[in-house]
C-alpha cells in the first residue's frame, strides 16, 4: 500500500477469525480437495453473568463459613480445657499441662512475609517449567493433599454421630504413622480411591466435581490447622498477598511479556486444562465454553482473617451483631462479588481477586476495631482478656 504525503490517516480494519482446531483442520481438508467451501461468520452473545460464577461465589463463601465455624469450635473447646486446668490443677501441673500440642500452627509476622516470597518463587518455577510432566507432579501433590483434607473432614464429620464416636476415639499404632484412630483407617481407603479415580479420569467433562470436592476439603483442613494469632500478622499477610497478586497479574507483563499468574492458572504449554490448585465450574450458558475459576489463595488467605474474627467473637462471647465475624464474612462476599463484576467489565481478562477482597475484609476489620476501641487488643493479643481463677477472691 502506498500513501500520498498529503493523504490523511486512513482507519484500516483487518478482521481476524479464530476457529477451534478441529474446525480449522476440517476446513483445510476441504480446501485441499478443491471443494466449494462456504463460511458464515457468527458471533454469539455471551451472557452478562454466567450461573457458574454464582455457584463459584457460593462455594468460596460456604467453604470459609464452614472452616471458620470448625476453627472457632476447636478454639472454644481448647479454651474450656485450659480454664479447667487453671481451676483444678496445681501450679506445677499447670506448667506441665500448658506445654502440650495444640494441634494447629500459628503464623508469625516473619513467616507471613516469607510465605509470599516462597509463593513468588514457586510461581516463577511453575511458569518456567510448565510442561506436561510438571503438571503431572502437581496432580500427584494435589491428590496427596486432597486425600489428607478429605480424610480429616470426613473423620471430623462422622465423629459428630454417636455411632462413629467410639471408633473415632479408639486408636491403634501404625508403623511410620503412630497412633491412628479406627475411624481414620476406615475412611482412608475411600479417600485414596476417590483421589486416584479423579487423577485417572480428570480430563472427562465432569471431573471438575471431584477436583472441587478435594480442593474444598483441603482448604477447610488448612484453615483449621493454620491460624493467625492477631490482627497484626493478618494485616502483614494480606498486605503482602495484595501486592503479590497485583504484581504477578499486571506488573509481570513488563518483564515476561505476559501475565505470569494467568498463564500458570490456564496451564499454557502443558497440554492440560489448567493446574489442579483451583476451584472451577464450567460456564453453563456461555457459547464459548470454558470454566469460571478461583485460586486456593483467594480463599485461604482471606479465610484466615475471617476464621480469626469468629474465634475472637466466640472467646469474647459476642453475638453476631456485636462481633466481627458477620462483618468480615460479608466483606469477603462483597469483595469477591466486585471481583466478578470487574471480570465481566474487563471482557473476561483475568483479575487479581485479592485486589478487591483484601481492602474490603482488612479495611472493614481495622475500621470496626478502631471504632469499638478494641484495635490495640486485636492487633497485639488477638484474644479477649481473661481473668485468672487463682486471682479471684474466695466467695466465702
Tens of pLDDT, residue by residue over 77-119, are 887 877 777 666 544 444 333 344 457 888 999 999 999 999 9
Question: 297 in helix, strand or coil?
Answer: helix
Give Cβ neighbours of residue 334 (< 8 Å, ≥ 6 apart).
360
Query: CB neighbours (10 Å) of residue 102?
Result: 12
State residue 110's pLDDT score: 93
The mean per-residue pLDDT over the stretch 262-266 comes to 83
Nearest to residue 280, comparing CAs of 49, 45, 60, 133? Answer: 60
pLDDT of residue 145: 95
Confidence band (pLDDT; 50, 70, 90) for 242? very high
Catalytic residue selected from 11, 22, 91, 245: 245
Task: Dig out the grid coordinates for 378 from the structure.
Answer: 486485636
DSSP 251: I
Query: Please, what is the average pLDDT of the chain?
Result: 84
Report DSSP state, residue 393: P
Write down the pLDDT at residue 269.
Answer: 65
| Strand pairing category for 226-227 and 105-106 | parallel
Average pLDDT over residues 158-167: 85
Among 114, 123, 117, 177, CA closest to 151: 177
Length of the chain: 396
Q: What number is the average pLDDT over the span 16-36?
A: 79
Which of 46-55, 265-274, 358-367 shows the lowest mean pLDDT across its residues? 265-274
From 22, 91, 273, 298, active-site residue: 298
User: Which of 1-15, 41-55, 188-202 shows the lowest mean pLDDT across its residues?
Assistant: 1-15
* Residue 35 pLDDT grade (very low, low, confident, very high; cuts 50, 70, 90): confident
Tens of pLDDT, residue by residue over 310-358, are 999 998 888 888 899 999 999 999 999 999 888 888 765 778 899 999 9
Residue 21 has pLDDT above 80, yes or no: no
Query: Is the overall model pTM greater than 0.85, yes or no?
Result: no
Is 80 exceeded by the pLDDT of residue 233?
Answer: yes
Instruction: Enumerate the β-bridge partners of residue 106.
Output: 227
Q: Are 117 and 254 in contact (CB under 8 A)?
A: no
Q: Is the pLDDT of residue 143 over 80?
A: yes
Q: What pLDDT was estimated at residue 253?
A: 86
11 as an active site residue: the answer is: no
Range from 75-84, 142-151, 271-280, 386-395 carrying the lowest mean pLDDT: 386-395
pLDDT(309) > 80: yes
Residue 274 has pLDDT above 90, yes or no: no
Rounded distance between C-alpha atoms, residue 327 and residue 364, angstroms: 7
CA separation (Å) from 6 to 2, 3, 9, 393? 12, 8, 10, 99
d(CA 256, CA 323): 45
Mean pLDDT of 55-77: 92
| H or E stretch at 174 | strand 171-174
Helix (H, G, I), strand (E, B) or coil at 359: helix
* Residue 167, pLDDT above cutoff 60: yes
Q: Say if residue 5's pLDDT is above 70.
A: no
| Least reliable range by pLDDT among 21-30, 167-176, 265-274 | 265-274
Determine whether 245 is an active site residue: yes
Binned at pLDDT 50, 70 and 90, residue 3 comes out as low
Write down the pLDDT at residue 395.
42
Amino acid at each position: 500500500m502506498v500513501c500520498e504525503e498529503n493523504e490523511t490517516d486512513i482507519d484500516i480494519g483487518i478482521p481476524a477469525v479464530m476457529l477451534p482446531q478441529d474446525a480449522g483442520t476440517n476446513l483445510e481438508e476441504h480446501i485441499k480437495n478443491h471443494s466449494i467451501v462456504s463460511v458464515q461468520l457468527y458471533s454469539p452473545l455471551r451472557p452478562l453473568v454466567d450461573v457458574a460464577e454464582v455457584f463459584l461465589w457460593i462455594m468460596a463463601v460456604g467453604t470459609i463459613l464452614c472452616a471458620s465455624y470448625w476453627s472457632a469450635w476447636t478454639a472454644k473447646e481448647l479454651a474450656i480445657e485450659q480454664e479447667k486446668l487453671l481451676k483444678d490443677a496445681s501450679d506445677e501441673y499447670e506448667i506441665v499441662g500448658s506445654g502440650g500440642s495444640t494441634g494447629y500452627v500459628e503464623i508469625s509476622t516473619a513467616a507471613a512475609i516469607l510465605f509470599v516470597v516462597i509463593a513468588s518463587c514457586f510461581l516463577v518455577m511453575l511458569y518456567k517449567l510448565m510442561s506436561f510432566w510438571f503438571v503431572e507432579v502437581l496432580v500427584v501433590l494435589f491428590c496427596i493433599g486432597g486425600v489428607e483434607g478429605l480424610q480429616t473432614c470426613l473423620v471430623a464429620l462422622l465423629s459428630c454421630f454417636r455411632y462413629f464416636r467410639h471408633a473415632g476415639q479408639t486408636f491403634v499404632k501404625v508403623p511410620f504413622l503412630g497412633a491412628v484412630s479406627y475411624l481414620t483407617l476406615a475412611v482412608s481407603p475411600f479417600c485414596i480411591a476417590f483421589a486416584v479415580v479423579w487423577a485417572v479420569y480428570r480430563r472427562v467433562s465432569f471431573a471438575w466435581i471431584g477436583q472441587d470436592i478435594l480442593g474444598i476439603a483441603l482448604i477447610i483442613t488448612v484453615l483449621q490447622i493454620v491460624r493467625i494469632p492477631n490482627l497484626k500478622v493478618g494485616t502483614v499477610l494480606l498486605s503482602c498477598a495484595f501486592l503479590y497478586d497485583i504484581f504477578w497479574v499486571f506488573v509481570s507483563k513488563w518483564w515476561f511479556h505476559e501475565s505470569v499468574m494467568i498463564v500458570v492458572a490456564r496451564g499454557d504449554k502443558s497440554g492440560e486444562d489448567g493446574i489442579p490448585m483451583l476451584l472451577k465450574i464450567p460456564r453453563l450458558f456461555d457459547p464459548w465454553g470454558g470454566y469460571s475459576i478461583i485460586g486456593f489463595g483467594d480463599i485461604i488467605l482471606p479465610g484466615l482473617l475471617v476464621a480469626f474474627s469468629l474465634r475472637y467473637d466466640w472467646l469474647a462471647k459476642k453475638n453476631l451483631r456485636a462481633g466481627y465475624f458477620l462483618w468480615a464474612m460479608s466483606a469477603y462476599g462483597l469483595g469477591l462479588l466486585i471481583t466478578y463484576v470487574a471480570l465481566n467489565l474487563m471482557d473476561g481478562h483475568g483479575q487479581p481477586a485479592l485486589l478487591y477482597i483484601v481492602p474490603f475484609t482488612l479495611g472493614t476489620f481495622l475500621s470496626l476495631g478502631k471504632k469499638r476501641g478494641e484495635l490495640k487488643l486485636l492487633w497485639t493479643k488477638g484474644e479477649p482478656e481473661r481473668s485468672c481463677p487463682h486471682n479471684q477472691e474466695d466467695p466465702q
